[in-house]
Structure 1
């Protein structure tokens, strides 16, 4: 055990140094996006504060943990400070591109949702979200992650505005949604983010997504960018075989003989190695870019277009994926790309569990964009730090590799300042919070005691500001 403790001590020393260097590089990359140094200093506090050991993460709780007399500094940073958050996102993407240069990168897209209590929150509406387990009132955001065999980093996000929300001029004005932001489907948002990632220098060769991102227009756009893809499809999805006949995916895969299924390892879990049976069959491509539509689409000229099936060893449940590669490709390569898609779920767990991705309690456009950006910056610093530790530290047979959650625990103990909990500060914040809540309660009660014509969201916002 002493040997293991010595190894952990070495990793902790490396992690401290790597954290400081990475944190400094990231903040240096976005420094030019701030108009004032006060806002830049508050942003650094916020990014570090997101990693503190607090019950929830929002402007109130983080301000108390950081020792601020109130949440006003953080709220100003998120809503009104002169800060080009779009340019900051581009700078962070370029920095991540430099860190991942020369590695096998797969761009993975997926969405996640946050439950909300009012449609006044920007983008909130009744819609499906796997995070809340069905249809409910929530915000949904599409995220793009760069995934390598050893690292996974979210590099971009886009808030999905439902069609009715995007067309509501009154709500858009209240939430501060820019005029140039219009309704876009999730596949359209995904293609825009992939294009931006490649422009920023991400050296990717593959794109992966679930059934939401299997549409023809998105796949055509991915091909025009020079990427291969592996996207999930439903069992009833229609594909065309090489003879020109249309089949449902579940029926076409029945043409694979029993001996043609191949068992392949897809990773390691707590219960051992995960293995599935895999099969593939050639299909006719239907997504050639516009400049190639008149060409003879065949495997030699337009790459390899295949239907891949994954079968559970014990339950027999089958999942289907439509894949395309610019040239010849092995089944093992496609399996690796498909399995990389699952790792974006781990980035969501990290973001929601350790960097407050879903806890901001923000309602307006600027606030949402900036909170999500700072959360992703904190997660990116963790991922890059862990990658640096893996490269510098020796592997130990008796220890699993350092993970981001374990790194957070080390940072809280060795680097990050503890939350401020001295008596005077806690009493001040308690008194301030209770008084603010009392004033808000009176305002709401007075509003409901005077029936009249229904106020618009603009009027309601004005009343709350006066209170």
Structure 2
């Protein structure tokens, strides 16, 4: 971030804050947003409300008043997360798409580790952030990706049934009445619907097997006019298609199909991009299939892509891909591998912008804090797109760019 802050960068930041302020309305909200955002963009180990207030106020006697002002903005002030996020998305897309088109919409989730039991949505649950079951909140995200940039545009807090169906907890956490229990795939579809309604340029929907194994999720994505390239679990049943596109033989799990293909030499080595240390490669098999066990109205020819890494006893990943036949095998592989870029985005959002530093307990506060972090990230991505055009770097290098590069 610091490398962007020449005189023109500062002018763009001020103009950007003005755009967000126009959405927020009111001088008090405008000022509070600017203070909060600069607290996230600036230095400081902790980026929750209290330390942001302390750094923003040089007079110790006025720190508490500043703390209360920012706390009100984050928790009690009634402003639209969707409208603010929409403005931030449009700003970043303006810079990103001047260079490259949107290729993918990426669905994923991340954990917000917690110590206590009172933060909204917290419970012991699995999160890939920790690689285990732990006490945490889970946020489901939707991101947009070009070949070299990755922009998170929306987040939803996952509410376990122990929260969604508990009236006392709901009241204490100020969970709106219209917010009901939804699975993570349902939250993802909700965000995809919003993005389509907002006119976001379409891309192929990418997700891991927690989402892609749901036939309902896949059907919803297709009904919304998007293609998908999603992970599925090993027991997902498919039926192989012959050269004429007709079902061939009995349905079988993708794991059993992988074993059959392995026995008959059906896997081939493919390198999909250059890594920081060495080329990234694995062995892949690609077959045309239809998903079994779904209504005929939802059946369509799909690609089954199977990744088998060197030295492992079974495949690492299985993907179902609905994109048309004109994509090559290498293009398909590069597409599905884009999903892992989200992990770097989470690291940047948490490590640099304090995404997971919010210490409040209430539903509106969590979403407001996340909205400000998304606004900050959108500005940085727009600046990076201006400073580092694709011609100046390879796609592999772009994926590895640190936030403040």
TM-score normalised to the size of structure 1? Answer: 0.76
Shift of 1:29: 3.0
**Structure 1 equivalent of residue 75 of structure 2:** 79
**Structure 2 equivalent of residue 270 of structure 1:** 276
Deviations 1:331-382 (CA, angstroms, capped at 9, x unpaired): 1221121111000111100001100011111211111011111111111211
Alignment partners' CA distance in 1, 2:285 and 2:149: 28
Which has the higher mean CA deviation after the structures are superposed, 218-227 or 235-244? 235-244
Contact 1:227 1:326 in 2 (8 A): no
Higher Rg of the two aligned structures: 1
Alignment partners' CA distance in 1, 2:291 and 2:253: 15
Alignment partners' CA distance in 2, 1:357 and 1:13: 21
* 2:160 maps to which of 159, 162, 182: 162
Alignment partners' CA distance in 2, 1:287 and 1:23: 52
Shift of 1:77: 1.0
- Matching of residue 312 in structure 1 with residue 309 in structure 2: yes
Alignment partners' CA distance in 2, 1:284 and 1:265: 27
Contact 1:382 1:404 in 2 (8 A): no
**Structure 2 equivalent of residue 218 of structure 1:** 217
Deviations 1:256-312 (CA, angstroms, capped at 9, x unpaired): 365543322233333221111111111114598x9x829xx5xxxx4x402111121
Q: Are residues 349 and 218 of structure 1, via their aligned partners in 2, closer, same or farther at CA, if it must alter by over 3 Å?
A: same
* 1:20 maps to which of 4, 7, 10: 10
**Structure 2 equivalent of residue 256 of structure 1:** 261
SS of 2:142's equivalent in the other structure is: strand
* 1:99 maps to which of 90, 95, 104: 95
**Structure 2 equivalent of residue 7 of structure 1:** none
**Structure 1 equivalent of residue 49 of structure 2:** 59
Alignment partners' CA distance in 1, 2:258 and 2:202: 30
Contact 2:174 2:364 in 1 (8 A): yes
Shift of 1:204: 2.2
**Structure 1 equivalent of residue 141 of structure 2:** 143
Alignment partners' CA distance in 2, 1:17 and 1:355: 22
**Structure 1 equivalent of residue 178 of structure 2:** 180
Shift of 1:72: 1.5
**Structure 2 equivalent of residue 49 of structure 1:** 39
- Matching of residue 395 in structure 1 with residue 401 in structure 2: no
Alignment partners' CA distance in 2, 1:237 and 1:21: 53
Which has the higher mean CA deviation after the structures are superposed, 92-101 or 336-345? 92-101
Shift of 1:12: 8.2
Q: Are residues 284 and 203 of structure 1, via their aligned partners in 2, closer, same or farther at CA, if it must alter by over 3 Å?
A: same
Q: Are residues 198 and 28 of structure 1, via their aligned partners in 2, closer, same or farther at CA, if it must alter by over 3 Å?
A: farther
* 2:358 maps to which of 357, 360, 378: 360
Contact 1:217 1:287 in 2 (8 A): no
Alignment partners' CA distance in 2, 1:339 and 1:396: 19
Shift of 1:320: 1.1
Contact 2:88 2:379 in 1 (8 A): no
Contact 1:386 1:403 in 2 (8 A): no
Q: How does 1:416-431 map to 2 (within 5 A)?
A: none
Deviations 1:388-410 (CA, angstroms, capped at 9, x unpaired): 10129x7389xx66934333xxx
**Structure 1 equivalent of residue 243 of structure 2:** none
Q: Unaligned regions of 5+ residues in structure 1, if any?
A: 1-10, 408-467
**Structure 2 equivalent of residue 375 of structure 1:** 373
Deviations 1:106-131 (CA, angstroms, capped at 9, x unpaired): 00111111122333211112221121
Q: How does 1:214-363 map to 2 (within 5 A)?
A: 214=212, 215-241=214-240, 242-243=247-248, 245-256=250-261, 259-285=265-291, 293=297, 302=300, 304-315=301-312, 317-318=314-315, 319-363=317-361
Deviations 1:191-238 (CA, angstroms, capped at 9, x unpaired): 111121122222123010011111111101111122211111222322
Contact 2:237 2:293 in 1 (8 A): no
Alignment partners' CA distance in 2, 1:49 and 1:73: 14
Contact 1:18 1:388 in 2 (8 A): no
Deviations 1:49-69 (CA, angstroms, capped at 9, x unpaired): 212221211112111222262
**Structure 2 equivalent of residue 447 of structure 1:** none
**Structure 2 equivalent of residue 432 of structure 1:** none
Alignment partners' CA distance in 2, 1:22 and 1:245: 60
Count of residues in correspondence between the two structures = 385
Alignment partners' CA distance in 2, 1:390 and 1:17: 18
TM-score normalised to the size of structure 2? Answer: 0.87
